[in-house]
Amino acid sequence: MIDNSVFGPDFGTLLNGNGTLGVAVSGGGDSVALLYLLAEWGRRPLHVFHVNHGIHPDSGQWAHSVAVHADRLGLAFTGLAWTGDKPATGLSAAARTARHALLADAARAAGIRVLCLAHTADDIAEAAYMRDLGSNVGSPQTWSPSPAWPQGRGVFLCRPLLGHSRAGLRDFLRARNLTWIDDPANDNPLSLRARARQALAGQAPEPARQGKRVMRAEVEGLLHDPEGWAALGLLRFDAEAFRRLPREAALHLLVTAAVCAGGGDRLPRGPSVERLYGAMSDGQAHTLAGARIRQTRGIIHVFREAGDIGRHGPPRQEAVWDGRFEFDQTVVVTATGHDRSRLDEVGNAFLRTLPAQLRASLPMVTGAGPHLAVPLYGVSGQKHNETVTTTCWVLPRFRASACRVSCETDL
């Protein structure tokens, strides 16, 4: 049986920040155990979130059961629902995408930065089993940014139970006469994850690995940014230092940089990434996840593929543009590479100070007249656009995704 005292030091080390913690609770044994363990730990306010996917006939009852647990503990509860049409194929992946987007939006709305999830050592073992059968599923990490983008900007996921088993958590629940729900999907033989769970049943899971991320100091040592252009979305790395990284860590860093610079929402995996890693050399340009990657003069450049920006369609009102820039108000935005004929002289002068990789991929707000919605570095007397304030998420998102995080205060 698991004693809560075993978890206290783990929680205190990992969750050493302040403010309310979010807890995602499905109603299953793992998440119900996490909820009660955190409540018994008792050092932080908790806010319980539940997503009703509307797939199973009993999903409404499951949502009610989570609300009852939250009420019993005197905790805030937010019920969320995945509404609309459901896909005929890929339902599980679509549900996961919708779930993370709903949770991220709700957490941000509640001012919550850290959302706790109940993955266990069994989930790590099952993911490894699935990869052995050809799946590209990743292994859960103790800390990671929300995979929902751009909804998850600034939201981090913490999985504090990766060192513990599913069986141990159920012992904890039984000792307290607590109930949970067993999702029938976990026994569906058509599901690879369910087959992995069945194949590994009864086996003791192995301890969690450190993962592919590297220490923050190492990442900062790799970054080459003397002019500060990373603040506009251009990531550059020292090629020699990059090649000294373990291959797995280097691959993860490369695809993370591409997704962040490209404004995408999922990490590419598979042979294309392996080929890119092997093919990078001086002068050759490659594309990956909406980004261009080029190594020249000992520096690896990763930047937005300007020709790909058109996939978003014509200019429209939005608060987050191209997955890279967030505005303090809803504005109509287009790329500087589309039409700069009406851009004022200050804006054009600023663009001339930038490397070619950036000139066509910055946000240009339309309205009274096109103007750049970025800090005007290097232009005399112009420190910021007077109308619109913007945040470029490329560099902070890259740091959050690439760096190894040991505790909440590392975020």
Average pLDDT over residues 253-267: 93
* 78, 48 contact by CB (below 8 A): yes
**Does residue 154 lie in a domain region?**
yes
Q: Are 150 and 281 in the same domain?
A: no
**Does residue 231 lie in a domain region?**
yes
Which letter does DSSP use for residue 206 in this model? P
* Domain membership of residue 274 as a residue range: 216-306
Q: Are 91 and 226 in the same domain?
A: no
- Model pLDDT, residue 383: 43
- Model pLDDT, residue 130: 74
**Does residue 407 lie in a domain region?**
no
The alpha carbon of 10 is separated from its chain's Cα centroid by a whole number of angstroms, namely 23
Q: Which residue has the tokens 């996840």?
A: 289
pLDDT band at 316 (very low <50, low <70, confident <90, very high): low
Contacts from 174-181 at CB under 8 Å and sequence distance 24+?
175/1, 176/36, 178/32, 178/33, 178/36, 179/32, 179/65, 180/27, 180/28, 180/29, 180/32, 180/33, 181/26, 181/27, 181/28, 181/62, 181/65
pLDDT band at 208 (very low <50, low <70, confident <90, very high): low
- Model pLDDT, residue 313: 65
**Average pLDDT of the residues of the chain:** 86
Could you give the CA distance from residue 395 to residue 263 in angstroms, rounded to a whole number?
11
**Does residue 286 lie in a domain region?**
yes
* 324, 263 contact by CB (below 8 A): yes
Average pLDDT over residues 131-153: 87
- Model pLDDT, residue 248: 86
**Does residue 44 lie in a domain region?**
yes
Average pLDDT over residues 55-78: 97
Q: What is the pTM of this model?
A: 0.89
Question: Tokens in use for 364?
Answer: 């240009």
The residue ranking higher by pLDDT, 317 or 305, is: 305
- Model pLDDT, residue 378: 43
The answer on pLDDT for 214 being more than 70 is yes
What is the count of structural domains for the chain?
Answer: 3
The residue ranking higher by pLDDT, 136 or 383, is: 136
CATH of the domain at 81: 3.40.50.620
- Model pLDDT, residue 76: 99
The answer on pLDDT for 3 being more than 80 is no
**Does residue 400 lie in a domain region?**
no
The residue ranking higher by pLDDT, 211 or 252, is: 252
Question: Tokens in use for 84?
Answer: 């609309």
Q: Are 254 and 192 in the same domain?
A: no
Q: Are 160 and 270 in the same domain?
A: no
Question: Tokens in use for 205?
Answer: 């899971």
Q: Are 187 and 263 in the same domain?
A: no
Which letter does DSSP use for residue 399 in this model? H
Could you give the CA distance from residue 376 to residue 171 in angstroms, rounded to a whole number?
59
